[in-house]
Chain A
Amino acid sequence: MTASQPTFFRRLTASKLFWPLVALALMLLFNLVFTKGFFHIQIKDGHLYGSLIDILNRAAPLMLIVIGMTLVIATSGIDISVGAVVAISGALVAMMIGGTLVLKGGVQEYVTLVPMPLAILAALGAATLVGLWNGLMVSRVGMQPIVATLILLMAGRGVAQLITNGQIITIYYKPYFFVGNGFLLGIPFSLYIVLAVLLFTLYFTRRTALGLFIESIGINPKASRMAGINAKNLLLCVYAFCALCAGIAGLIVCSNVKSADGNNAGMYFELDAILAVVLGGTSTAGGKFYLIGSIIGALIIQTLTTTIYSIGVPPEITLVVKALVVFVVMLFQSESFRKVVFNRFGGKVGQS
Chain B
Amino acid sequence: MESGPAPILEMKGISLSFPGVKALSTIDFRLFPGEVHALMGQNGAGKSTLIKVLTGVYPPDQGVIELDHRAITPASPLEAQKLGISTVYQEVNLCPNLSVAENISIGREPMRMGRIDWKRLNEQARTALAKLNIHIDVTQTLSSYSVAIQQMVAIARALDVSAKILILDEPTSSLDEQEVELLFEVIRKLRDEGLAVLFVTHFLAQTYQLADRITVLRNGELVGETRAAELPRLKLIEQMIGREVSQESGSLAPAAQVAMDQAAPALVEAHDLGRKGSMTPFDLKIRKGEILGLAGLLGSGRTETARLLFGADKADHGSVKMGGRKLSLSSPRTALMNGIGFCPEDRKTDGIIADLTVRENIILALQAKRGIFRALSHKKQEEIAETYIRIIGIKTSGMEQPCGKLSGGNQQKVILARWLATDPQFLILDEPTRGIDVGAKAEIMDLVIQLCQKGLAILFIASELEEVVRCCTRVAVLRDRVKITELEGSAIDENAILHAIAGVQE
Contacts and interface: CB of A to CB of B under 8 A. Distances in A.
A220 B354 contact: yes
Interface in B348-381: 349-356, 360, 364-365, 367-376
Contacts of B418: 227
A219 B367 CA distance: 17
B332 A227 contact: yes
B331 interface: yes
Given A228-B332, A229-B364, A223 B351 contact: yes
The residue in B354, B364, B370, B376 that gathers the most chain A C-beta atoms within 10 A of its C-beta is B364
Contacts of A225: 312, 331-333
Contacts of A140: none
A261 interface: no
Q: Which of A223, A229, A287, A288 has the most CB of B within 10 A?
A: A223
Interface in A240-254: none
B373 A208 contact: yes
Contacts of A227: 332, 336, 353, 364-365, 368, 418
B354 A219 contact: yes
Nearest to B419: A227
A225 B376 CA distance: 20
Contact of A228 (B335, B344, B350): B335
A207 interface: yes
B336 A220 contact: no
B350 A226 contact: yes
B349 A222 contact: yes
A222 B351 CA distance: 8
B351 A208 contact: no
A223 B342 CA distance: 11
A227 B367 CA distance: 10
A288 B373 contact: no
Contacts of B336: 227-228
Given A225-B332, A228-B335, A209 B353 contact: no
A187 interface: no
B332 A288 contact: no
Contacts of A222: 349-350
Interface stretch (A26-34, A166-174, A210-218, A299-307): A210-218
A191 to B, nearest CB: 29
A81 B374 CA distance: 32
B368 A219 contact: no
A42 interface: no
Interface in A74-93: none
A223 B352 contact: yes
B332 A213 contact: no
Interface in B132-187: none
Q: Bin chain B's interface residue count.
A: 20 to 34
Contacts of A230: 331, 333, 368
Given A228-B336, A229-B333, A229-B368, A212 B360 contact: yes
Contacts of B356: 212, 215-216, 219
A227 B372 CA distance: 14
A220 B346 CA distance: 13
Contacts of A229: 333, 364, 368
A42 B355 CA distance: 47
A224 B350 CA distance: 8
A226 B369 contact: no
Q: Tell me which of B335, B352, B356, B418 has the highest count of chain A C-beta atoms within 10 A of its own C-beta.
A: B356
A61 B168 CA distance: 57
Interface string B219-238: 00000000000000000000
A271 to B, nearest CB: 26
A210 B372 contact: yes
B342 to A, nearest CB: 7
A112 B388 CA distance: 62
Contacts of B353: 215-216, 219-220, 223-224, 227
Contacts of B372: 208-210, 213
A139 B344 CA distance: 24
B412 to A, nearest CB: 13
Interface string A281-303: 00000011000000000000000
Nearest to B347: A223
Contacts of B337: 228
Interface in B373-397: 373-376
A224 B353 CA distance: 7
Given A208-B375, A212-B360, A229-B333, A223 B349 contact: yes
Contacts of B376: 209
A214 to B, nearest CB: 10
B234 to A, nearest CB: 36
Contact of A288 (B352, B355, B364, B368): B355
A219 B369 CA distance: 20
Given A208-B372, A208-B373, A210-B372, A220 B332 contact: no
A142 to B, nearest CB: 15
A209 B372 CA distance: 5
A208 B375 CA distance: 5
B342 A207 contact: no
Given A227-B418, A228-B336, A213 B368 contact: yes
Interface of A: 207-210, 212-213, 215-216, 219-220, 222-230, 287-288
24 contacts: A208-B373, A208-B375, A209-B368, A209-B375, A213-B368, A216-B360, A219-B353, A219-B355, A220-B352, A222-B349, A223-B353, A224-B353, A224-B364, A225-B331, A225-B332, A226-B312, A226-B332, A226-B350, A227-B332, A227-B336, A227-B418, A228-B332, A230-B333, A287-B355
Which 7 interchain pairs have the tightest Cβ spacing? A228-B336, A228-B368, A227-B365, A208-B375, A209-B367, A228-B333, A209-B375
Given A209-B370, A219-B355, A228-B333, 20 more contacts: A207-B375, A208-B375, A209-B374, A212-B356, A212-B364, A212-B367, A216-B353, A220-B353, A222-B349, A223-B353, A225-B312, A226-B310, A226-B312, A226-B332, A226-B350, A226-B351, A227-B368, A228-B336, A230-B333, A230-B368
